[in-house]
Structure 1
Amino acid sequence: MGQGMHDLTGFQRDLLYVIAGHDQPHGLAIKAELEDYYDQEIHHGRLYPNLDALVDKGLVEKGELDRRTNYYALTQRGQRELEARREWEHQYLKDMEILA
């Protein structure tokens, strides 16, 4: 198991946010969402090892939609880590008008 959000790469953190915002997205849906955000192509060789790393850390669970397609979902631990991250960010951003 990993040590939570603080030992993730920025890319892995972004993967968590995308997974949190969708109902059991499959890999290609996650890929499309991040390509839109990053405005560049994300190769399978980057996407899937990072998704597997999140599964290994216990933050994401992977299941089968069918024999060819996996879905991804946050675990309870992943949800807790994301909430803790949001609280941590909020303490620095709370005085900005952005969050008003």
Structure 2
Amino acid sequence: MYDLTAFQRDVLYTIAGQDEPHGLAIKDELDNYYERNINHGHLYPNLDEVVDKGLVEKGELDQRTNYYTITARGERELEARREWEDEHVGELFEESE
């Protein structure tokens, strides 16, 4: 995960939070998160990159539409990232007793 950009990490989180999303569903989610339009020229090369790294698997719905799923390696990387985040900022979000 250390070699991913922040945008690529957000792509992973977005895919993990949906059931086999297609590219436009991922784009819509990221558009909402970033509060701006993510263009296709930015999204799809980053999707290809996380696929090439083995973190995401790309399948085909039809000749024009692909779907994406997190691989087991991607899940491990996300889990390790969450543990790292909890270690560094987790106490900021814990409820006081």
User: TM bucket by the smaller chain?
Assistant: over 0.9
Moved over 3 A (4+): none
What residue in structure 2 maps to residue 23 of structure 1?
19
User: TM (normalized to structure 1)?
Assistant: 0.92
1:95 maps onto 2:94 in alignment:
no
Distance 1:99 1:71 in 2: 36
What residue in structure 2 maps to residue 7 of structure 1?
3
Distance 2:94 2:19 in 1: 26
**Structure 2, unpaired ranges of 5+:** none
User: TM (normalized to structure 2)?
Assistant: 0.95
1:40 maps onto 2:36 in alignment:
yes
Distance 2:94 2:13 in 1: 18
1:74 maps onto 2:74 in alignment:
no
Q: Deviations over 1:16-62 (max 9, x none)?
A: 00000000000000000000010111111000000000000000000
Q: Which amino acid aligns with 1:43?
A: N
3-state secondary structure, aligned to 2:91:
coil
Distance 1:99 1:59 in 2: 30
Q: Offset at 1:66?
A: 1.1
- Residue-pair matches, total: 95
**Structure 1, unpaired ranges of 5+:** none
2:81 to 76, 82, 85: 85
Q: Offset at 1:67?
A: 1.2
Aligned-pair RMSD on alpha carbons? 0.8
